Amino acid sequence: MNTKQIRRYESNNAMVSSGRKEATDIGIQIFKKGGNAIDAAVAVGFAMGVAEPATSGLGGGGFMTINLPGNSESIFIDFRENAPKSAYPDMWCLDEKGKVIDKANAIGAKSISVPGEVAGLIYVLENYGTMTLEEVMAPTIKLAEEGIVVTAMLENMLGIYGKHLEKCESAKDIYCKDFKEGDLLRNKKIANTLKTIAFEGRDVFYKGKISKEIIKSVQDMGGLLTKEDLEEYEVEVKEPVVGEYRGYTIISSPPPSSGGTHIIQSLNILENFDIGSLEVNSAEYLHMFSEAFKLSYEDRAKFMADTKFIDVPLKGLRSKKYAKVLSKKIDLNTARKPECYDPWNYEHDDTTHYSIGDKEGYLVSVTKTINHFFGSCMVGGNTGILLNDTMADFSTNKYDVNSVDSRKKPLSSMSPTLILKDGKPVAIIGSPGGVRIINVIVQIISKIVDHGMDIQEAIESPRITQNATNTMLYENRISSKVIEDLKAMGHDMNQCLDYDKKMGGVNGIYYTEDGKIIGAADPRRDGVAYGI
Q: Which residues are catalytic?
A: 351
Taking the C-alpha atoms of residue 185 and residue 182, their distance in angstroms, rounded to an integer, is 9
- Contact predicate 257/237, CB 8 Å: no
Contact (CB, 8 A) for 406 and 86: yes
Cβ pair 526, 20 in contact under 8 A: yes
Query: What CA–CA distance (Å, rounded) separates 376 from 236?
Result: 24
Please provide the distance, in angstroms rounded to a whole number, between the alpha carbons at the two ends of the chain.
Answer: 27
DSSP string, 95-106: -TTSPBGGGTTT
Q: What does 435-475 look like in DSSP terms, one character per residue?
A: GGHHHHHHHHHHHHHTT---HHHHHHS--EE--SSSEEEEE
Cα(520)–Cα(511) distance, integer angstroms? 11
Amino acid at 367: T
CA nearest neighbour of 23 among 36, 41, 11, 35: 41
CA distance 12 to 57: 31
Closest CA to 487 of 472, 504, 508, 469: 472
